[in-house]
Chain A
Amino acid sequence: MINFLIARIIQIPITLVIILCITFFLIHAAPGDPVASLAGDFVTKEYRDLIIKHYELDKPLTIQALIYFKNIFTGDFGTSYYFKDSVLNVIGSRIIPTLLLVIPSIVISSFLGIYLGFLSARSSTVLSRISIPVTSIIVTSIPTFWLGYLLIIFFSIKLNIFPIQGITNPRHSLEGLYYYVDIIFHLFLPLLTMIISQLAQVILLLRQKLIYEISLPYFRTALSKGLSYRKAIINHSLQNAILPVITVAGNRFSFLITGSILTETVFAWPGLGRLMIQAIEVRDYPLVLGILFILSVIVMVLNLLTDLVYTLIDPRITFKSDG
Chain B
Amino acid sequence: MDNRHKILFYFGIILISPALFSLLFSWWITPTSFYIESHEAFTEPCFEFIMGTDDLGRDLFTGIVQGLRNSLLVGIGVTFIAYSIGIILGMLSGYFRGSVDYLLMKLSEIFMVMPHFLIVILSAAFLGQGVINLILTLGLFSWEHIYRIVRSEVLSLRTREYIVAATSLGAGFRWITYKHFFPMIMPTVSSVMPLTICYAIMAEAGLSFLGLGDPDQVSLGYLISNSNQFLFSGWWLFVFPGLFLTLTIAGFTLINFSRDGLYMMLSPRPEREAKVQESDQALLY
Q: Which A residues fall within an 8 A CB radius of B?
A: 11, 14-15, 18-19, 22-23, 26-27, 29-32, 126, 129-130, 133-134, 137-138, 140-146, 149-150, 152-153, 157, 254-255, 257-258, 261-262, 265-266, 276-277, 280, 288, 292, 295-296, 299-300, 303, 322-323
Contacts of B205 in A (CB 8 A): 143
Q: Are A143 and B242 in contact (CB under 8 A)?
A: yes
Asked if A142 and B11 make an inter-chain contact with CB atoms under 8 angstroms apart, the answer reads no
Selected from A126, A137, A277, A295, the residue in CB contact (under 8 A) with B115 is: A295
Closest to B238 in A: A149
Q: Is residue B165 within 8 Å, beta carbon to beta carbon, of the partner chain?
A: no
User: Which candidate, B18-26, B121-129, B184-192, is the interface stretch facing chain A?
Assistant: B121-129
Question: Is the CB–CB distance between B250 and A146 below 8 Å?
Answer: no
Contacts of A303 in B (CB 8 A): 113
Decide if the interface of chain A is mainly helix, strand, loop or mixed: helix
Q: 1/0 contact trace for B37-72 toward A, CB 8 Å? A: 000000000000000000000000000000000000
What is the bound-complex CA distance between A280 and B121, given in angstroms? 9
Q: How many residues of B contact A (CB 8 A)?
A: 45
Contact of A26 among B115, B122, B203, B253 (CB under 8 A): B122
Q: Which of A11, A27, A133, A300 contacts B122 (CB 8 A)?
A: A27
**A143-B221, A146-B245, A303-B113 known, 15 other contacts, Cβ within 8 Å:** A11-B110, A26-B126, A138-B250, A141-B247, A142-B242, A143-B224, A143-B242, A144-B206, A145-B221, A257-B117, A261-B210, A276-B118, A277-B210, A296-B118, A323-B105
Which partner residue on chain A sits nearest B114 by CB separation?
A19
Residues in A neighbouring B11, C-beta threshold 8 A? 134
Tell me the nearest residue of chain A to B250, going by C-beta: A141
Q: A19-B119, A23-B119, A323-B105 are in contact. Are A146 and B127 (CB under 8 A)?
A: no
B202 within 8 A of A: yes
6 nearest A-B residue pairs (beta carbon) = A30-B126, A146-B242, A141-B250, A141-B249, A258-B117, A280-B125
Are A137 and B118 interface neighbours, CB within 8 A?
no
For B8, list chain A residues within 8 Å (CB).
Answer: 130, 133-134
21 CB < 8 A contacts A-B: A19-B114, A23-B122, A29-B126, A30-B125, A32-B126, A134-B11, A137-B250, A138-B250, A141-B253, A143-B205, A143-B242, A143-B245, A146-B224, A149-B228, A152-B231, A258-B116, A276-B118, A280-B122, A288-B122, A292-B115, A296-B114
